[in-house]
A and B are shown apart, each in its own frame.
Chain A
Amino acid sequence: MDQILLGFAGLMQIDVLLFLSIGVLAGMVVGSIPGINDNIAFAVFIPFSFTLPADQALALMVGVYCAAAAGGAIPAIMLRVPGTASALMTTIDGNAMARNGQAGRALSIAMTSSVVGGLTSAVVLLVCAPALAMLALRFGYVENAALTVLGLSSVVGLLSGKILKGIISAALGLLVSTIGFSQVTGFPRYTFGSINLVEGVPFVPLLVGLFGVAAAFDLLRDIIRERAQGNAPESLPKIGSMRLEAGLIRRLLPVWGTSSAIGNFIGVLPGAGMLMAIYLAYDQAARRFQRKFAGRPGEMEWGKGTPEGIAAPEAANNAVTASSMVPLLSLGIPGNSTSALFIGAMALHGLVPGPLLFANNGDIAWMIIVAFLVANLLIWPAAFVVIGLVSRTIFSIPKPVLAGVVLLLCVLGAYSDGNNLFNVWVALGGGVVAFAMNLAGIPLGPAILGLVLGAQMEASISNALTISQGNWLVFVDPVNHPISAFMVALAVVMWIAPPLNAWRRRRAAR
């Protein structure tokens, strides 16, 4: 309880609260720009956090992260174009409801669902992260090595038949993590004589490139595609009343509960991401709708403007935001791509996520957790401002202008980390690699995990083997290292389960 109060004390300073509010408002605005995803929203704000003290900068980034996920629903409903990938499913029922003359109602359902989902995930973060961090503090080299293996293995089950490409992605990330001085011996590796690579590939510029620059390239590609298809923009629907009646709230309560639970569960899994959460939540809501409401008089068909079709994905995507920070803050393993970018934002201020964060910078760690709670409460007023005042202006910004501005902000963000043009080359290289990986169908998640966990994995395995005099069985010793043995067993299950399931399915199909 004392720590929660410490977090509130840190957050309730006027300047910190002000930057959290600015972050929420800015995240909502950026999230509501069609084509700008959560990662771009986060990447473009990194340069602005440079000049701020750590608490204000991280409050700003928490606000951006939470609100961008919610803001994506605004163009999804008004224009049938998801502002962020996480609002993909909201376009279906959201825009249909808006075209039925109930845009205000659709927006209100989306924002309320985002707030509910976000608040539940903030509670999950509040409860789980410190508890996991306490456990992780007891880890030695053996357990840390097993943890990194488990972290990397956790994405295997999510690769759905792309095991080889997942391995390629992870190997690329691990290889990049070996660049620079070895953490074990201090030997310089793969520096090619460049002083810029001695401490490894600059982390923040690389992340800005992998997420921000690559996403800006995607935006440019989409513009060219749309121009070739000759898509004409649709007129905006009228917003109307945003009031939600008590009956509708009662009807949506079970959907919010299920979708928030799905979002939270997916959020804490490293590498799972928001998209899986929204698909699962949407599917669950569809089943419930078919069972309870389909065919009733006056009831819309599924996909034609039902409130559940908006509430489920929106509650799920915001439930991922804070819960994806659980593995990051407690174990140093990013839950999704945006939380990986959060590592960069923290690194800029000399903070390293993981169990030691709570021991060494407890005030900041608790402030971040509490900020997630407050940011979600600020989403509603920010949504009113953005929907009522600026959304029409935002929608009128030409996409070609947007692509140029986003690219410029990303490369300047990379440059600002040390005022070094080498960082811009790194960001550009990262953008090209991520774009190529996307074209080739290679998932980015394993590469990020490899990048983040590589150095820790190498150092922990090496130190554990030194202490155990080269005994590899130390990692599966159930007597002296039961946690490590459990984590290795879990990792093995994660590797075996997908091919086993595929084999079973093939056999059943015969």
Chain B
Amino acid sequence: MPNLPSFAGVGRSALGDADFWIGLVLIGIGGVALYQALGFDSTSRSFPLIVSGLLTISGLTLLARCLSGRLSNPLKRREMGAVGLAVGLIALWIVALTSGLGFVISTFALQLGLLWLAGERRLLRAALISALIAVAAYLTFAMLLDVRLPRSFLSFILSGL
């Protein structure tokens, strides 16, 4: 009799498959969209109902395919980690700008973080490059292209700070 994979084994290996997580996310998004669509008026809900239903069924199919033991798409944790940190840095940059920290300081910090992530470990060099990029971006967008950048509570010291 051939050796069949145990449920626990299949479960463990499925957790390392990107398709498993994508399937779960799609079921979540599709389910919420489906539930919300039920609250729309009768004419407005037909299209969202069909699309969210399709998304939920597709997510379920992906998940079922994954749990059936056909692993196809292993998770690339290392690559996801670095990009995850970059996403976090940009999110912090947006929060800093929203709370009035100012464009040049926030952008300097963002660039410093991105340079470090990309492997630049010489702090002075990274700081110089970051400052240069932040000032150049400010001059280009605020002065040349006339884009209204978020206001800073430090602008009384220097415009754009």
Q: Chain A residues in contact with chain B, CB under 8 A?
A: 47-48, 50-51, 164, 167-168, 171-172, 174-175, 178, 182, 184-185, 187, 189-190, 217, 220-221, 223-225, 227, 398-401, 403-405, 407-409, 411-412, 415-416, 419, 421, 424-425, 428, 431-432, 435-436, 439-442, 457-458, 461-462
Contact = CB atoms under 8 A, between A and B. Distances in A.
Given A428-B87, A440-B73, A220 B118 contact: yes
A428 B79 contact: no
B131 interface: no
A439 B119 contact: no
Contacts of A458: 47
Secondary structure at the B interface, as helix, strand, loop or mixed, is helix
Nearest to A169: B58
Given A223-B118, A421-B150, A171 B51 contact: yes
A164 B94 CA distance: 36
Contacts, number: 155
A224 B86 contact: no
A435 B147 contact: no
Interface in B21-57: 22, 26, 29-30, 33, 36-37, 40-41, 43-44, 46-48, 51-52, 54-55
A187 B44 contact: yes
B123 to A, nearest CB: 14
B83 A435 contact: yes
Identify the 5 closest CB pairs spanning chains A and B, nearest first: A400-B118, A187-B44, A404-B114, A458-B47, A171-B55
A220 B61 contact: no
A175 B146 contact: no
B48 A439 contact: no
B53 to A, nearest CB: 9
A412 B137 contact: yes
B160 interface: no
A398 B111 CA distance: 14
Contact of B94 (A421, A432, A439): A421
A415 B44 contact: no
B110 interface: yes
A77 B150 CA distance: 43
Interface residues of B, number: 61
Contacts of A220: 82-83, 86, 114, 117-118
A439 B137 contact: no
Contact of B90 (A221, A398, A405, A407): A407
B129 interface: yes
Most chain B CB inside 10 Å of its own CB: which residue of A408, A441, A458: A408
Interface of B: 18-19, 22, 26, 29-30, 33, 36-37, 40-41, 43-44, 46-48, 51-52, 54-55, 58-59, 61-62, 65, 72-73, 76, 78-80, 82-83, 86-87, 90-91, 93-94, 97-98, 107, 110-111, 114-115, 117-120, 129-130, 133, 137, 141, 145-150
Contacts of A400: 114-115, 118-120
B137 A408 contact: yes
Nearest to B89: A407
A415 B47 CA distance: 31
Contact of B47 (A164, A178, A227, A442): A178
Given A224-B79, A407-B90, A175 B44 contact: no
Contacts of B61: 164
Nearest to A184: B43
A220 B19 CA distance: 23
B55 A175 contact: yes
A167 B54 CA distance: 8
A408 B133 contact: yes
Most chain A CB inside 10 Å of its own CB: which residue of B79, B80, B98: B79
Most chain B CB inside 10 Å of its own CB: which residue of A171, A185, A190, A412: A171
A399 B119 CA distance: 10
